[in-house]
Amino acid sequence: MRILVLGGDGYLGWPTALHLSRRGHDVGIVDNFARRSYDFEMGVDSLVPIQNLQRRVRTWEEVSGLEMTTYVGDLTDAPFVDGVLRDFQPDTVVHFAEQRSAPYSMIDQKHAVYTQVNNVVGTLNLLYAIADVDPSIHLVKLGTMGEYGTPNIDIEEGFIEITHRGRTDVLPYPKQPGSFYHLSKVHDSANIMFACRIWGLASTDLNQGIVYGQETEETALHPDLATRFDYDSVFGTVLNRFCVQAVVGHPVTVYGSGGQIRGMLDIRDTLACVELACTNPAEAGEFRVFNQFTESFSVSELAGMVVDAYPGRVEVENLEDPRVEKQEHYYRAAHTKLLDLGLVPHLLNRTTISSLLAVADRHRDRVDVTAVRPTVQWRSTASALATSGSPTTSKPSNIGVSKA
């Protein structure tokens, strides 16, 4: 296949592009480097050093002997999106290219507005471009399990059968998103479903759980191929952050009681799930939803696993929860569709956590301890987080293309 990976310079986009390339697909990457600009704004950096995209691609081509095309530009620039699709002519578009941090979206009004404009407008431009250029392109869109929230009933995969006053219908599962970021994903899902219905597009919405891990078979081939590892309170996911805190002797910071339950998956399973979605595409006019996670854990359970796996002493500190969320709740979510397609999960165990701790220990001199404690308060419209100003991205008016 010809697969275009949007956000291909990011934490998941980059290893996904490498994985698909190694599996024999012709891969193109689109990115505007916004994620790198967030680091500058927040005053932090990836724990694991990462190279610029040009060097990454050059090294990949040298190591693998496989070519990769790159485009530099912004999805909110509609002519750019249209031009990329016409130039690359993909069979499938994998869409990672969104601001993906809930805390970042809750910093203040500017960051909330930026997140929704960036995410929703970019996806709308993509839908219009697919409809105009080639409606047969399969859109694989990365959503989030956070769209559902924590209802007191079982979570289905996208849709639920409801009987009301004697009549029955299958409807989109009710959404209870927990941040302006999660809301942007809900808007995306509604827009994509609508586009599939009226234009006959084909799309798979991957409602992904929290991803942990940093190394894949492809990124391990050369140091230049490493993907990022975020540990700060704004972009760092919970297990990665806990492992870094343990290594540097900082208490593992559990928000509230720690009873919050979330779906989790290994980074290697993200790659496998995306490939399964690409190679088993949706039909024309079909909007399907896969819940992309493999296990569920409470935050306290994750903290306990890190304490057990780390050879030294680790303290756990329960902080006042900066988020507005249920501390204890029912959580049972269906996630069978990817398993039915052949997913063989990497389940979380002591060995996995030990490997994360080893990554953190190798780069412990890069840890900024001041970045691990929460600074963004959901209940406030003006966060105490000091940043360098409004979120910004580069928006070139022309297609920046590099073809090896």
Contact in structure between 19 and 225 (CB atoms under 8 Å): no
Set out the domains of the chain in order of their start, with CATH numbers. 2-403 (3.40.50.720)
Sheet of strand 261-266, all strands in order from the earlier edge strand to the far edge:
210-212, 261-266, 295-298
Q: What pLDDT sits at residue 395? A: 45
Instruction: Find, among 22, 327, 343, the residue nearest to 208 by Cα.
Output: 343
Catalytic residue among 76, 114, 185, 237: 185
Each residue's pLDDT expressed in tens, for the chain with a length of 404 residues: 999 999 999 999 999 999 999 999 999 999 999 999 999 999 999 999 999 999 999 999 999 999 999 999 999 999 999 999 999 999 999 999 999 999 999 999 999 999 999 999 999 999 999 999 999 999 999 999 999 999 999 999 999 999 999 999 999 999 999 999 999 999 999 999 999 999 999 999 999 999 999 999 999 999 999 999 999 999 999 999 999 999 999 999 999 999 999 999 999 999 999 999 999 999 999 999 999 999 999 999 999 999 999 999 999 999 999 999 999 999 999 999 999 999 999 999 999 999 999 999 999 999 999 999 999 999 988 765 645 456 755 444 344 555 44
Residue 19: phi and psi, rounded to 5, are: -60, -45
Q: What pLDDT sits at residue 384? A: 59
pTM: 0.95
Catalytic residue among 11, 38, 173, 181: 181
Q: What pLDDT sits at residue 396? A: 40
* CA–CA separation, 26 and 215 (whole Å): 22
Q: What pLDDT sits at residue 385? A: 60
Contact in structure between 296 and 38 (CB atoms under 8 Å): no
Helix-helix angle 238-247:350-362, to 10 degrees: 60
141 assigned to active site:
no
Catalytic residue among 76, 92, 123, 144: 144
Q: Which residue has the tokens 């999805």?
A: 75
144 assigned to active site:
yes
**271's tokens:** 């790659």
* CA–CA separation, 277 and 283 (whole Å): 12
Q: What pLDDT sits at residue 397? A: 39
Contact in structure between 95 and 6 (CB atoms under 8 Å): yes
403 assigned to active site:
no
